[in-house]
Amino acid sequence: MFQNFKKATLGLIAFSFFDCWKDPGVYDTICGNDSCEYLLSSGRFLGEKVWQPHSCMMHKYKISEAKNCLVDKHIAFIGDSRIRQLFYSFVKIINPQFKEEGNKHENIPFEDKVSSVKVDFLWHPEVNGSMKQCIKVWTEDPIGKPHVIVAGAATWSIKIHNGSNEALSQYKMNITSIAPLLEKLAKTSDVYWVLQDPVYEVLLSENRKMITNEKIDAYNEAAVSILNSSTRNSKSNVKMFSVSKLIAQETIMDSLDGLHLPESSRETSAMILMNVYCNKILKPVDGSCCQPRPPLTLTQKLAACFFTVSIIGYLIFYIIHRNAHRKNKPCADLESGEEKKNIISTPVSTLEILLESLCKLGLIMAYFYMCDRANLFMKENKFYTHSSFFIPIIYILVLGVFYNENTKETKVLNREQTDEWKGWMQLVILIYHISGASTFLPVYMHIRVLVAAYLFQTGYGHFSYFWIKGDFGIHRVCQVLFRLNFLVVVLCIVMDRPYQFYYFVPLVTVWFMVIYVTLALWPQIIQKKANGNCLWHFGLLLKLAFLLLCICFLAYSQGAFEKIFSLWPLSKCFELKGNVYEWWFRWRLDRYVVFHGMLFAFIYLALQKRQVLSEGKGEPLFSNKISNFLLFISVVSFLTYSIWASSCKNKAECNELHPSVSVVQILAFILIRNIPGYARSVYSSFFAWFGKISLELFICQYHIWLAADTRGILVLIPGNPMLNIIVSTFIFVCVAHEISQITNDLAQIVIPKDNAALLKRLAGIAVFFCGLLVLSSIQDKSRH
């Protein structure tokens, strides 16, 4: 059944691509190509004050970013009092201290001498000869003309001439005369004509009552018609800034005088202007509007060639295999009427599995690239509301409880239970990311515990394996490293992102190696050896104590930590934006929890060996008195942590305490889940299914469920948020499941059990990564 779902998914992906490429109009409308025009003309409010442009994401520029973008630039605002308001809001992005003072009906200059940014407001409240002369001077002075021109006026013409039709006719004549001048300027500068916002007629003073929305619409229609027809054979270069009309329709009721917009609306319009001009220069990750598609790197081109060859190779192999199958197909004996079987079906070859896996992976990676790099699909900003987070949480919890089954074994943290744990945690984290709940501190602190719980399971699971099995062979290590890192390495190449960008995988990889080295170094202490002599338990505790000492040293010695991970080639893996601070922050945030997981595994396995625990079906873990007491303590501890996390006021302070206290809620949950025998005997198959692909879900969300490297939301179906979430989630889950199967299949091929063959493969992998380092160095030099 699920295979049919995945085939349907591939068909839906192919259909989307086909629609986007076969018709330029469809490409622009559905696939988000013309995001700059949408930014200037359409959008909606998320909540009360957050503006969402149609099809793309808007970046909120900081002072330093604005100055960096506008260095040595000249911006001119020319028009009436509404344009003056827009000027003030724009300048305040560069300098929030700028005061709205002085004579309102005169020119207002602004200059930031440090960044050489010059912004001028020129008072020309009517479209007349005076405005035309000002614009004409710019066309004749190529050196002094502004880089950006924002113009607009109409309400004064309506007011002075009492809304007469003659005034509208004169307006049309005047704007017709300046249209060629604006078009000429637009060939070398960015020119925006601001359409008139609606008014709130109830609040208008008596001397403005003639300014009606009907008149404003007539003036806007005249401006659009004339400016768009100023060039005969091509589209006008003068851009219509009509989005402020939509903003005003929602906010003009909050105006003080019915004519001028409230400050929050002006700030939104100014930020839109900043995005239109600066996004293509600074290329912010969360500002997809007006950004061109990034050029392909050499590594991406080589990856595309490799996957193309793999797809062609698989198709050739499939055709040959199919023809051979037809020749060997059972044929009917005409005399007896029975079928003759000519050949026994042969098992699937390693080559076929390899080619099929690479073919599917190539198609999936093409989808990743199209979603988050090619500007093929739309992207939108996140917007948090309590309902957008908690309603989906309740929904999945109901589903999880509904699909429950009996466990195969009733041990503490058995395989079904850990898969269930990973599954519901991953689903909660996914909802947290897509709803933008990181802005709500109590939710953020609880999600930090879920991330810590993943790392706790890393410590618990790997320690238990090495302690019980005593298998420190290279095959086991390579299998784990391959399964953890395969998808991320491929994404680093295809999506042109550093390894540290997918921070959780480096985190679990490093901690796995720490666990391995701690237990594998002399003396190797395993359960079988320790059972013969209790002193070995003491030796293992000394090892764990030394590990804790190393963790504490690195946690409080940022310099030493950064020196270690800044060494080449480690720096290529752990640097982000030119330094390893992000890696240090991520590692330090959950520095003790893996150690806690290892220690818990040691204590649990020791108690289990001495038969202190009752792990039979339906039996409480301890005696009734002890079980009830521990359950009470666990519930109180769990709720106490939640109360503390919900009362957090400062993220930095809470993050500082988190590494020491997160284990409280993790241990409380484990005891609540495992002490009652009936709770330990059942699990949610719904959550467990997601738990088996939790790593793939966590990584894939970056590019094919979320967008702009998790900063926004992918929009496959514009205009219908609910349907879009359903379709994109369906594709996302199918892809994650398929990648999990591909990783498992390739792991069997790339990491063979034979040591001699494995060493050859490792040598090949080493050569591959050396090549990647060389290509990465070449690309870094070309970028600089």
Reported as a pLDDT band with limits 50, 70 and 90, residue 29 is very low
With beta carbons less than 8 A apart as the criterion, state whether 83 and 152 touch. yes
pLDDT band (50, 70, 90) for residue 27: very low
Checking if the pLDDT of 656 tops 60, the result is yes
- pLDDT tens-digit series, residues 332-364: 443 444 444 444 455 678 999 999 999 999 999
For residue 695, the tally of other CB atoms under 10 A from its CB is 23
Per-residue pLDDT at 532: 82
- List the one residue out of 298, 639, 600, 321 whose CA is nearest residue 463: 600
DSSP 128: S
Asked if 714 contacts 376 with a C-beta cutoff of 8 angstroms, the reply is no
pLDDT per position as a tens digit, 129-163: 999 999 999 999 888 899 999 999 999 999 999 99
Q: What is the pLDDT of residues 186-232, one digit of tens each?
A: 999 999 999 999 999 999 999 999 999 999 999 999 999 999 886 65
Nearest CA-CA partner of 264 in 286, 277, 248, 240: 248
Rounded mean pLDDT, 279-299: 90
Q: Which two tokens stand for residue 395?
A: 């929904």
> pTM of this prediction?
0.90
DSSP states along 553-583: HHHT-HHHHHHHHTSTTHHHHH-BTTBSHHH
Per-residue pLDDT, 323? 78
Start-to-end CA span in the chain (Å): 51
Nearest Cα to Cα of residue 370 among 4, 18, 722, 733: 18
Q: What are 673-697's pLDDT values in tens digits?
A: 999 999 999 999 999 999 999 999 9
* DSSP-H helix ranges across 294-440: 298-327, 350-372, 386-402, 415-435
What is the structure's pLDDT at 24? 37
Asked whether 26 and 754 are in contact (CB, 8 A), the reply is no
- Number of residues that make up the chain: 784
Active-site residue list? 81, 257, 260
> How far are the Cα atoms of 5, 17, 434, 556, 707 from residue 738, in angstroms, in the given order?
11, 20, 22, 42, 20
If phi > 0 it is left, if psi is from -120 to 50 it is alpha, else beta; for residue 260 that is: beta
Average pLDDT over residues 563-586: 91
For the segment 747-764, the average pLDDT, to the nearest whole number, is 94
Q: How many CB atoms neighbour CB 73 within 10 A? A: 18
Grade residue 328 by pLDDT with cuts at 50, 70 and 90.
low
The dihedral formed by the CA atoms of 111, 114, 117 and 118, expressed in degrees to the nearest 10: 20
- Rounded to whole angstroms, the Cα distance separating 540 from 448 reads 29
Three-class SS of 668-714: HHHHHHHCCHHHHCEEEHHHHHHHHCHHHHHHHHHHHCEECCCCEEE
Task: Quote the radius of gyration of the chain (alpha carbons, Å).
Answer: 32
Question: pLDDT-derived band of residue 32, with 50, 70 and 90 as boundaries?
Answer: very low
Name the pLDDT band for 568 (thresholds 50, 70, 90): confident
Return the percentage of the chain with pLDDT > 70, whole number: 92
Give the pLDDT of residue 664: 96
Q: Are 703 and 495 in contact (CB under 8 A)?
A: yes
pLDDT digits (tens, 9 = 90+) for 465-513: 999 999 999 999 999 999 999 999 999 999 999 999 999 999 999 999 9
Residue 619: both structure tokens together: 């039996």
SS3 state of residue 475: helix
What pLDDT is recorded for position 326? 66
118 phi/psi in degrees, rounded to 5: -125, 125
Kindly state the DSSP code that residue 188 receives in the 8-state scheme.
Answer: T
Q: By three-state DSSP, how is residue 75 classified? A: strand
| Predicted confidence (pLDDT) at residue 14 exceeds the cutoff of 90 | no
C-alpha distance from residue 446 to each of 167, 391, 398, 443 (Å): 63, 17, 20, 5
CB 495 within 8 A of CB 502: no
User: Residue 18: pLDDT above 70?
Assistant: no
Checking if the pLDDT of 22 tops 70, the result is no
Question: CB atoms < 10 A from the CB of 537, how many?
Answer: 15
pLDDT, one tens digit per residue, over 521-567 is 999 999 999 988 889 999 999 999 999 999 999 999 999 999 999 99
Q: Report pLDDT for 46.
A: 87
Q: What are the residue ranges of helices labelled H in 384-526? A: 386-402, 415-435, 441-469, 474-494, 504-520
Question: Mean per-residue pLDDT for 456-461?
Answer: 98
pLDDT tens for 176-193 read: 999 999 999 999 999 999
Confidence at residue 218, expressed as pLDDT on a 0 to 100 scale: 96
Task: Please name the residue that has the structure tokens 């309102």.
Answer: 104
Cα–Cα–Cα angle for 7, 18, 734, nearest 5°? 25
- Say whether the peptide bond before residue 620 is cis (omega within 30 degrees of 0): no
The amino acid that residue 764 corresponds to is: G
Q: In this structure, what token pair is assigned to residue 229? A: 């027809």
Q: Any residues with CB less than 8 A from the CB of 555 and at least 6 apart, and which?
A: 561, 588, 591, 659
- How would residue 61 be classed by pLDDT, with cut points 50, 70 and 90? very high
Asked if the model's pLDDT at residue 579 lies above 50, the reply is: yes
Beta bridge partners of 52: 44
Beta bridge partners of 117: 112
